[in-house]
Structure 1
Amino acid sequence: MKWGFFSMKLFFHNKVLNTQKVLFAFFILISAIYFSNVIFENKDFFTKINQDKAMIISQEKTDDIIGEIQDEMTITQKFEVNGQANLEIKIPFGTFKRANTGELYFDLKENGQVIEHKIFDVSQLPDSQDISIEIPNSDNDSKKRLLEFEIKSKGLSGGNSVTLWRSNNQLGEFFINDQIQDGSIYFKLFASNTTAALTNGTFYLLLISFLLLFVVVTLLIFKFRGNVQKIFVILSLSIGLFFVVIFPPFEHLDELDHFYRAYEVSEGKFINQTVNGELGNYIPTSLISTVNKVRYVHYTGYQYNVVKDTFSMELNPQERVFHRNYASIYSPVLYIPQALGVLLGRIFNSPPIMMLYLGRLFNFLAYVITVFFSLKILPFKKNLLLVIALLPMTLIQATSLSADALMIGSSFLFISVVLNLGYNKKILEINTKDFWILTTVGMYMSISKPVYLPLLLLIFAIPYQKFGDKIKYTKKILIILVSSLLPMLIWNLLNLKNLAVPDVRGDTGISPSNQVHYVLTHPFRYIKTMFDTLISLGDSQFMGMLGKAVTNYGYSLSSSLVFGFIFLLLFTAILKSSDYERDSLTINVKGKLIFVVIIVGVIILTYTALYTGYTTVGNNLILGIQGRYFIPVSPLLFLIISSNNIVIKDKKIDIYVILSLCLLLFIVLLNYILKINGAIPF
């Protein structure tokens, strides 16, 4: 009988295992079919010649003009391009919205020789609209083409003339009457593709590689099921390393400023210096030249040749320019990983573009390490933190040069440490090691960005008995608070001049001092402004936190993808699934009230910082708020809605959640690959 019973038990156990394996194989098969179908739908885009014109030179147009073009003027703009064929210049003229008469002579030269001559009737020029000039193909096989266009006029004078706009980008030398000018003439350069992006063989190789990566990652997840921190490393590296590379340079939000800041920190320049009444630091001119060359390669798909060219641009650290970047207000501790990447590039005399990618890589690896320990320490809701740490917006920040990567990681680590000390039943008393870990993490998090100071209130969720007695509790709480606040105060006092400079990227009428005065004299009106902003923009800020749209230029995700992440967040927040969670101490009302106070505090400080530093005085809405600013406190937001009563006893639910997350992430990766390359709209 015993052997019979044992045989039946073994039979049903093996049957369950076989059923799991079949379901697992079915999951992989259906997912592979889906990915193959999506990729094949876009096969022609990559394997056939695309006749659409791709922008290879674009600039930031300013409101400055060169003045009225008159007969005695000669305007010359030099520039350099790859040896591409089928090039076309597009340049807008301003007519001052009047009927002008006369002629413009447009000479296009290569190596000083005229290769195209055009005469434009000024009376026929449309105001502010592009005029196209095709560039004849070159007969030689040179990799570089040295081009210039020269503009003269006949019959034009003051009050009867046209003009051109300036750009701050330095594409090449720009002259007016042989006098060199700052910046460049505003124009765009397009090239028609003459070859396919990929051969059929390369396309199928990449398809198979993508599917193999998905299968391998899925198998590793199944192997390490139950170990959430290892699963995080597998998923983050498999997706994040692609993010480091595939996103065009300086595509991420404020990444160019973070690039300059990381370089400053790598040289030990932590605080801006004052030169002729201006704040800033001397940085290599090549950094700005690199940014100007590749900053706009995204418009019609990733222009790989443009980025490839920048790898030949040398650093030349002795040639410098005085520059202020807006990221210089942030503490240098947020740029340690990026600065190490830049420093490594400097040691090996790498071009600036390589420093960008090294900075991204080091920043991402620092984030992975920080979140790994956060998940390892967290006593419960590991799957919730896993989903938050792998949200599209979170990964985008982690794989850029953004200071948010370490800010997010350190916040997660602080939350995990506090919740472990406060709710882990095995920790009866906080020892010296635990205390100093808590203090150090709190100190780092606080000096990073002051708007997240309310997170320090989380320490009050730890029962005082774990500190020993009330006297020890009071003493240690004060040490933590003072240790966290003092470095932040010292840094901001040292950086006070820099903090007082308004961020005029949004509007030149911004005045922090006047805005502070307005808030203090109209407190109830400001409270209404905060409520109006939350009601009007709160939903978009929440979707932005998830990653509905990322980077400067969108790359939006479909609603179904976003709601897939929302479902996983709510599912992992509300339900208890693992054995440990079912037996662990639940979050009490006091803890949830502290979470609410923290979130409200961060919202108020974030809104106030952007109202005083980025919004015009007395505006009815607060401008510049982005959902990513609330990622550091997002675990607390979802822990507030966690339930103590809804329990799932099926032990396999965790692996289902993680496999669903894996599938969503690979769909996101494929979505970005297609959009970055222009196969589908932004």
Structure 2
Amino acid sequence: MRKQGVYKERCMPTRNIRGLIFSLVYVMLGLLIFANCYNGWTEKQSYTYHVEAVNYEYEKISCSEEKSFYINVVSTNTKMISLNGCDFGDLGKIKLFLKKEDSGSIFSLDNVCSEGEIVNISVEDYRLSKGRYLLTIINDSESDVLVSIDEDNTLNNSQIIEFGYKDEAVLFTLMGWCIIALVGGLCYFLLKKREESFLILSIIVGLVFIIIIPPYTAPDELRHFARAYDISEGNIVCTNYYSSDEYDGQLFPVCDLPDELFRLKLLSEQNAIYYANETNSKIAIDAYLNEFTNFFSGKQNKTPIFGDYTTSAIAFLPQAMGIICGEVLRCNPIIVFYMSRVFNMVIASILAYLGFKIIPKYKKIYMAVYFCPSIVFLRSTDSTDGFFLSIIMLFVAYALAISVNQVELRKRDYFCLSILAAIIGLIKLPYLLILLIIFFIPKDYFCFGRRGNAHGHGRIIYFIVSFTVALLIYKISHNLLDNNPFASAPGAASSTEISMSHVSYIANNTVKFLVMYCSECIIALPNYISQSITFPTFEYITIPFIVYVMLLAREAEDCEEKPLTKNVLIGTAVFMWMAIVGAFYFVGTPQLGYIWGIQGRYLHPIEFLTIIALAKKTQNTIELRDVEMLSLIFIGVYYFEIIKYYWI
């Protein structure tokens, strides 16, 4: 035995050597992908920016008539303005003049051509400044001219903009990646306590991703932010309802969101103002940078918050705190938005840190899961999912700590577990089934009265009481928040309610329902797992990360649960997944023929429990700090993919 120990000691790499190896891998992979980003930035010559209005109407300019319309120029690098949905007829007899709204300079536009219903106007020689312009059209032809305008008399137009930030973009891209590398290296080599390292890395990585992830890119982020803003204004219960033609005249809950915050959803190169189009994609950099010079005008936009107005305000408290802080400091709109993200990320990180600190085992799995690329993405946005997952992981860590410490539950343990469970149920009811994991805590630990007076059925009694109380709290909260019986939600998005129409559909179409349900639970599961690893999905990161986490569970942990505990964890995960799929059936209308709205992010708590259940005790040499570096390698690669996806 002694010889084996000496052999292992001599052959095992030292911590510093392993750290240097991990750092080298991080640098090599990063530089390889950075080269691709560099080429993307340097080859990007121009881009097209277009924002649709809710409604466009044709405006006629008769023979010998003159009319003026607005155009908002977003960049000093605008090369061409394209008027969409036009009919100019004899283009040679139509005169165009451009004048800035607040100046006397008038430009005669001569370089004009048409392609079908699009009229292209070259403005490269004029070096237009940013701002609002009046385009005057004089019709000297013998036929009418048609242009497409919105309700503000602004022309339906697209702008081709020269990309003028190549050097800055390359430097910015490299700087964010280096910050993650530097902080990761310092934590690896200098910090002794991995709990401190966990918190520092979570916050620093979160801050970097807050910057590189554009506004309103996470699922439902616009509605989550709008609901948080409503709460920051003191509207815990929504009392504002609105009817819109966009949703066939249905009445739905809205928040009076400042127009400057709503319009952060219009930063994509190709986007629409429609409520249903909530997320940005490829960002128009000039439009994005312009937001840093905007200030609140007092104009409000009625932003729908269906699906979120019945969710407890607890889920939105971190964002609301950030909004209040930003407004107290008199920040401009986009900074207020980022303040809400920062508060959301920091509070989520602190909750996860508390769980990481008290969890007695599986710290490697805990860290790997929490630094999963998609989880890093979600907690760096205004989505409630990062905050919610942190609460669930804290609950699991607390239960494991009680189980391992081999002491009966104290009053504060009952209280803390019950409070955490109630919060989980208030935010997303199906996850209340997480309470099932208390069954891996030995029943002798559930004592009532004096020390040592364990109750034979104490565990079951506690589960029933806690579950029932949490359900009652949810029901009371839901009834208070859902205060308008005439409100409905657009399309298939509604609150989870068991209606007779759903029950009737199941009774009359039992086989069809079972096929649909099993298809979502089993057949579609691999696709949801893939979605849960990276958002947006990058397959070349997803598959290696799954292999990494599974190898970590099977080969790197130094503990293993008893069969009963494994069964409880797996059973809880299965029941939660079945409940989630079932809940989403009731979200949609029965006639849809499929279960609507499930996404990979709903699997995160389930995956956490499953990976713990699969852990196998091994004689390993990998340290917790090594898991940090391995996770950062994935995050470093993911960082560049986010840059390419949204910015290049």
* TM-score, length basis structure 2: 0.83
- Which of 109, 117, 122 is 1:116 aligned to? 109
- 1:173-228 residue CA offsets vs partner (Å, 9 max, x unmatched): 733xxxxxxxx5433222113x45216xx957974784475154134224446x54
Residue 93 of structure 1 and its aligned partner are, at CA, apart by 2.2
* Stretch deviating more after TM superposition (346-355 or 148-157): 148-157
1:218–1:662 contact (8 Å) kept in structure 2: no
- 1:566-625 residue CA offsets vs partner (Å, 9 max, x unmatched): 1222123334633xx26xxx2323x334334433333333333433334x5423332322
Q: Which residue of 2 aligns with 1:532?
A: 519
1-structure distance, mates of 2:525, 2:408: 41
Q: Equivalences for 1:588-603 in 2 at 5 Å?
A: 588-589=563-564, 591-603=565-577
Gaps of 5+ in 2: 244-250, 272-279, 447-453
Q: Which residue of 1 aligns with 2:27?
A: 32
1-structure distance, mates of 2:53, 2:522: 34
Q: Which residue of 2 aligns with 1:81?
A: 73
Q: Which residue of 1 aligns with 2:123?
A: 135
- Which of 160, 171, 195 is 1:190 aligned to? 160
Residue 489 of structure 1 and its aligned partner are, at CA, apart by 0.9
Which amino acid letter does the alignment assign opposite residue 82 of structure 2?
Answer: K
- Which of 222, 231, 242 is 1:256 aligned to? 222
3-state SS in 2 of match to 1:618: helix
2-structure distance, mates of 1:235, 1:517: 51
- Which of 295, 304, 322 is 1:324 aligned to? 304
* Stretch deviating more after TM superposition (293-302 or 109-118): 293-302
Q: Which residue of 1 aligns with 2:198?
A: 232
Distance 1:133 1:340, change over 3 A: same
Q: Which residue of 2 aligns with 1:347?
A: 328
Distance 1:212 1:290, change over 3 A: closer
3-state SS in 2 of match to 1:504: coil
Could you tell me the percent identity over the aligned residues? 17
Residue 359 of structure 1 and its aligned partner are, at CA, apart by 0.5
- 1:231-289 residue CA offsets vs partner (Å, 9 max, x unmatched): 32243233221111111122222221122111101111122215577443552443455
Q: Equivalences for 1:419-458 in 2 at 5 Å?
A: 419-421=400-402, 423-424=403-404, 426-458=405-437
Q: Which residue of 1 aligns with 2:466?
A: 480
2-structure distance, mates of 1:653, 1:677: 36
2-structure distance, mates of 1:197, 1:190: 17
1:511–1:613 contact (8 Å) kept in structure 2: yes
- 1:111-148 residue CA offsets vs partner (Å, 9 max, x unmatched): 36453268878xxx636xx44222254468x5545344
1:596–1:637 contact (8 Å) kept in structure 2: yes
- 1:284-306 residue CA offsets vs partner (Å, 9 max, x unmatched): 44345532543558989644432
Residue 494 of structure 1 and its aligned partner are, at CA, apart by 1.6
2:113–2:121 contact (8 Å) kept in structure 1: no
Residue 436 of structure 1 and its aligned partner are, at CA, apart by 1.0
Which amino acid letter does the alignment assign opposite residue 588 of structure 1?
Answer: P
1:658 equivalent to 2:614? Answer no
3-state SS in 2 of match to 1:78: strand
3-state SS in 2 of match to 1:132: strand
* Stretch deviating more after TM superposition (203-212 or 650-659): 203-212
- 1:306-349 residue CA offsets vs partner (Å, 9 max, x unmatched): 223222322245x4344432332321100111000000111122
3-state SS in 2 of match to 1:273: coil
Residue 447 of structure 1 and its aligned partner are, at CA, apart by 0.7
2-structure distance, mates of 1:137, 1:388: 54
Which amino acid letter does the alignment assign opposite residue 607 of structure 1?
Answer: V
Q: Which residue of 1 aligns with 2:352?
A: 371
Q: Which residue of 2 aligns with 1:391?
A: 372
2:56–2:156 contact (8 Å) kept in structure 1: no
Distance 1:516 1:94, change over 3 A: farther
1-structure distance, mates of 2:623, 2:57: 66
3-state SS in 1 of match to 2:619: coil
Residue 54 of structure 1 and its aligned partner are, at CA, apart by 1.9
Residue 531 of structure 1 and its aligned partner are, at CA, apart by 1.6
Q: Which residue of 1 aligns with 2:116?
A: 126
- Number of aligned residue pairs: give it: 616
* TM-score, length basis structure 1: 0.79
Which amino acid letter does the alignment assign opposite residue 659 of structure 1?
Answer: M
- Which of 539, 546, 554 is 2:533 aligned to? 546
Residue 529 of structure 1 and its aligned partner are, at CA, apart by 0.8
1:270 equivalent to 2:236? Answer yes
Distance 1:153 1:496, change over 3 A: farther
Q: Which residue of 2 aligns with 1:418?
A: 399
1-structure distance, mates of 2:288, 2:40: 21
1-structure distance, mates of 2:622, 2:434: 34
Residue 77 of structure 1 and its aligned partner are, at CA, apart by 3.8
Which amino acid letter does the alignment assign opposite residue 652 of structure 1?
Answer: I
Which amino acid letter does the alignment assign opposite residue 52 of structure 1?
Answer: Q
Distance 1:223 1:15, change over 3 A: farther
1-structure distance, mates of 2:199, 2:550: 23
2-structure distance, mates of 1:382, 1:68: 65
1:107 equivalent to 2:96? Answer yes
1-structure distance, mates of 2:75, 2:256: 31
1:342–1:358 contact (8 Å) kept in structure 2: yes
Distance 1:516 1:357, change over 3 A: farther
- 1:440-477 residue CA offsets vs partner (Å, 9 max, x unmatched): 11111111111212222222332221112136545533
Query: CA-atom RMSD, angstroms?
Result: 3.9
* Stretch deviating more after TM superposition (207-216 or 377-386): 207-216
1-structure distance, mates of 2:112, 2:30: 53
- 1:72-118 residue CA offsets vs partner (Å, 9 max, x unmatched): 897754133355134322343278xxxx9777947352236453268
Which amino acid letter does the alignment assign opposite residue 174 of structure 1?
Answer: D
Pick 1 or 2: higher relative contact order, CA cutoff 8 A, min separation 6: 2
3-state SS in 2 of match to 1:174: coil
Residue 671 of structure 1 and its aligned partner are, at CA, apart by 2.8
Which amino acid letter does the alignment assign opposite residue 233 of structure 1?
Answer: L
Distance 1:354 1:460, change over 3 A: same
1:587 equivalent to 2:559? Answer no
- Which of 609, 612, 619 is 1:649 aligned to? 619
2-structure distance, mates of 1:428, 1:669: 44
Q: Equivalences for 1:133-172 in 2 at 5 Å?
A: 133-138=121-126, 144=131, 146-148=133-135, 150=137, 164=148
- Which of 557, 561, 577 is 1:577 aligned to? 557
